């Protein structure tokens, strides 16, 4: 393990929601929730203003609306998020050839491999410059963690949120990790966390006190050894340069085998929803749905179904996973379930009707004809045609975005990223002067990876200090004002 804090972890702050706030002046400083707005929709990202009310990612949208009824609820604009992510990744690749993206808004960077950092001081300067460049190029903020390993760098960036930088100095890792929850460590999800809690282990220091043999007894050889090493701040995982994803999948292992068929079906539906969130977070869609089932006797079965075209529609993926489950005998019990999507393609706004109609189309004409016929019969066409938050242009009033639609009307607020908050007007959904539009850039002019220029005030963004409750040697301060976490 290296001794200098030259592994950088970048996490863009509330990325989807921040993009929406930056592009819509009327939403700046207000609660914004991005995600699926249907009855089964989930929250993709919530702004920090929305998080005050308890709204968080992966929460059912209905629950979010109850907690924050006055927030703005918007449909994601993945093509815009992906284009901004590409600008950010360009800045990271200018620092090092070793960039490991984890999602559209998160990545590791090996600064030492790029020759831009070799000790704490140079690493800190690289982090400060990166944050300023990101603000100048995108108008957005990102939090940076710097440490000697990937695990610690990610923990540092979490402590830096929002809009800060934290450096974990070598030699302070054990003292910093000790009082933290076991859930802080990679690989400790809800199930493992509950298993450890039942054994009386709730903090990282208690993992160390329990000892490696006890961890192996509780969690198995591989997981026990790995978790004990991380509790001692040992993490030798290298930053791996970007590789093309071949599939996106999620799976859960259950402490007690599931025998109830209804419960198995509900778990598969939940996993399908999680898989869709991960798929959309990466800006991807896929053609092949895969179900993985590990039964009570440790036999593992996989079933797959290939669709007519790539999708990221949660309803389509849930239905495919349910059909695959029908072909699996779970009578003896299930200990692991997984849902994945392969045959990946870049995200595109697909034909919702063609995917949903799929095998249900029975007439002889092309699928597209049935899709049009179905669309004409749908009473909620307005909401599908004018998704909340998406861009429009009016022949008289110019560029705006959809605030909402229904009952044959669509409400539009006319404003741009560099304007004052705009006026709201309502039109018929079939108004010939109103049409869908491409998003406008958040920053009209910005520097390239070499820096320079940028938004007014970008140079004044200082490094945030570490929370006062943490050791002083774990400080993120480096001059300038401090920003505290929410």
- Is 106 considered catalytic here? yes
- Please tell me the chain's helix, strand, coil percentages from 3-state DSSP, rounded to the nearest 5: 35, 25, 40
The encoded tokens of residue 9 equal: 């972890």
- Within 10 A of 118 (CB to CB), how many other CB atoms are there? 12
For residues 142 and 149, give the distance between their C-alpha atoms in angstroms, rounded to a whole number. Answer: 19
| C-beta separation of 20 from 165 below 8 A | no
20, 49, 100, 106: the active-site residue: 106
The dihedrals phi and psi of 189, each to the nearest 5 degrees, come to -95, -170
Three-state secondary structure string covering 88-102:
HHHHHHHHCCCEEEE
Rg (CA), the chain: 24
Helix (H, G, I), strand (E, B) or coil at 477: coil
Query: Between the CA of residue 399 and those of 17, 58, 375, 391, what are the distances in Å?
Result: 20, 31, 26, 7
Tell me the C-alpha distance between 101 and 43, whole Å. Answer: 22
Nearest in space to 85 (alpha carbons), one of 26, 171, 18, 179: 18
Sheet of strand 142-147, all strands in order from the earlier edge strand to the far edge: 99-103, 106-110, 7-12, 142-147, 165-167
DSSP state of 131: H
Measured in whole angstroms, how far is the alpha carbon of residue 426 from the centre of its chain? 33
SS3 at position 116:
coil
Going 228 to 231 to 234 to 236, the CA torsion angle's sign is positive
Task: Answer yes or no: are the C-beta atoms of 253 and 336 closer than 8 Å.
Answer: yes
- Hey, which residues are catalytic here? 106
């Amino acid at each position: 393990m290296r001794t200098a804090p030259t592994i950088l972890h970048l996490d863009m702050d509330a990325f989807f929601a921040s993009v929406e706030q930056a592009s819509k002046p009327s939403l700046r400083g207000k609660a914004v929730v991005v995600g699926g707005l249907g009855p089964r929709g989930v929250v993709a990202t919530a702004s920090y203003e929305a998080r005050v009310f308890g709204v968080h990612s992966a929460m059912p949208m209905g629950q979010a609306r109850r907690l924050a009824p006055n927030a703005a609820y918007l449909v994601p604009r993945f093509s815009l998020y992906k284009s901004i992510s590409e600008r950010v990744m360009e800045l990271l690749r200018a620092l090092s050839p070793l960039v490991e993206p984890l999602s559209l808004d998160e990545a590791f960077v090996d600064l030492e491999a790029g020759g831009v950092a070799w000790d704490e001081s140079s690493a800190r300067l690289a982090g400060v410059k990166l944050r300023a460049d990101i603000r100048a190029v995108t108008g957005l903020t990102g939090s940076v963690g710097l440490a000697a390993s990937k695990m610690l760098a990610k923990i540092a960036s979490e402590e830096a949120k929002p809009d800060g930088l934290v450096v974990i100095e070598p030699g302070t890792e054990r003292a910093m990790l000790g009082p933290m929850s076991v859930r802080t460590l990679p690989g400790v999800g809800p199930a493992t966390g509950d298993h450890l809690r039942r054994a009386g282990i709730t903090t990282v220091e208690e993992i160390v006190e329990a000892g490696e043999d006890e961890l192996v007894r509780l969690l198995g050889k591989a997981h026990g050894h790995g978790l004990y090493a991380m509790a001692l701040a040992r993490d030798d995982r290298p930053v791996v340069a970007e590789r093309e994803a071949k599939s996106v999948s999620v799976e859960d292992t259950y402490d007690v085998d599931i025998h109830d068929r209804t419960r198995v079906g509900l778990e598969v539906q939940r996993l399908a929803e999680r898989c869709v969130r991960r798929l959309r977070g990466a800006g991807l869609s896929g053609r092949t749905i895969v179900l993985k089932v590990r039964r009570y006797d440790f036999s593992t079965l996989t079933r797959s179904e290939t669709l007519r075209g790539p999708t990221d529609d949660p309803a389509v993926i849930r239905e495919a996973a349910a059909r695959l489950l029908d072909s699996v005998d779970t009578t003896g019990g299930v200990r692991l379930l997984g849902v994945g999507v392969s045959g990946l393609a870049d995200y595109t706004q697909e034909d919702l009707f063609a995917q949903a109609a799929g095998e249900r189309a029975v007439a002889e004409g092309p699928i597209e004809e049935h899709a049009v016929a179905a669309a004409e019969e749908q009473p909620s066409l307005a909401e599908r045609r004018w998704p909340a938050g998406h861009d429009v242009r009016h022949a008289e009033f110019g560029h705006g975005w959809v605030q909402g639609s229904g009952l044959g009307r669509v409400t539009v607020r006319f404003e741009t990223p560099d304007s004052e908050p705009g006026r709201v007007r309502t039109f018929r959904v079939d108004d010939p002067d109103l049409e869908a539009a491409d998003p406008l850039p958040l920053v009209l002019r910005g520097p390239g990876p070499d820096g320079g220029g940028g938004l007014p005030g970008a140079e004044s963004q200082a490094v945030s200090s570490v929370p006062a409750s943490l050791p002083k040697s774990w400080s993120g301060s480096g001059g300038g004002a401090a920003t505290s976490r929410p």
